[in-house]
Homo-oligomer: A and B are copies of this chain.
Amino acid sequence: MNYPNGIKKSVTNHHTNYANRGMMLEQDLNSTNIYYREIDKAYIYKKPTPIKIVNVDYQSRKLATIKEAYFLEPSTTDYNGIYKGKYIDFEAKETKSKTSFALENIHPHQIKHLQNIKNQQGIAFLIVRFTNLSLTFLLTANDFFDFLEKNNRKSIPLNYFQQKGYLLKEKLNPRIDYLEIVDKFMEEKNDKKRNKKEKDK
């Protein structure tokens, strides 16, 4: 679209948006986690990016400059912490696809890590945002591994998120109230346990 004095305004904005998009979910989660800490609800942090430091210039004790370093593949998920005494662990990813979430977005050792946390009775899940649809879902580790077991696909289709996932609506503050959903599925889990006990009686 051409604007009066020749500026392709929409294209410029488009580019800017794209550049920021990869970080938007992370920013939303960081501000959400700060909000949770401020109201003393939960202590959940994003782990620093793992890097291999090769060369450091120690000009002074306080001002060391890293001169050469490389990014390492993370061995765990990005986010973990504590909520209501429980261990919380999740990975957050964005996709530009409008139809599915490619599994190559998650490293194999991150998948293994989620499995380990699930087995240890931790609360594990994925948060996936379809940026071009403005839809953000929480998918529990149970439903994620259920999909992996029953399918041999390289991606999870959008409709699986719509069926099994929980839609995370964006709000002002907290931006993405994912602990509201965690409460929900913890309750559902307890209900199931209770029903099972009732049956077993």
Copies of this protein in the complex: 2
Q: Do the beta carbons of B51 and A120 come within 8 Å of each other?
A: no
Please report the total number of A residues contacting B with Cβ < 8 Å: 39
Distance of A157 from chain B, by nearest CB (Å): 27
**Chain B residues near A117 (CB-CB < 8 A):** 43, 82
A153 in the interface (beta carbon within 8 A): no
Distance of A119 from chain B, by nearest CB (Å): 8
Annotate A65-93 by CB proximity to B: 1 below 8 A, 0 otherwise: 11111110001100011111111110000
A113 in the interface (beta carbon within 8 A): yes
* Chain A residues proximal to chain B, CB less than 8 Å: 37, 40, 42-43, 45, 47-51, 53, 63-71, 75-76, 80-89, 113, 116-117, 119-122
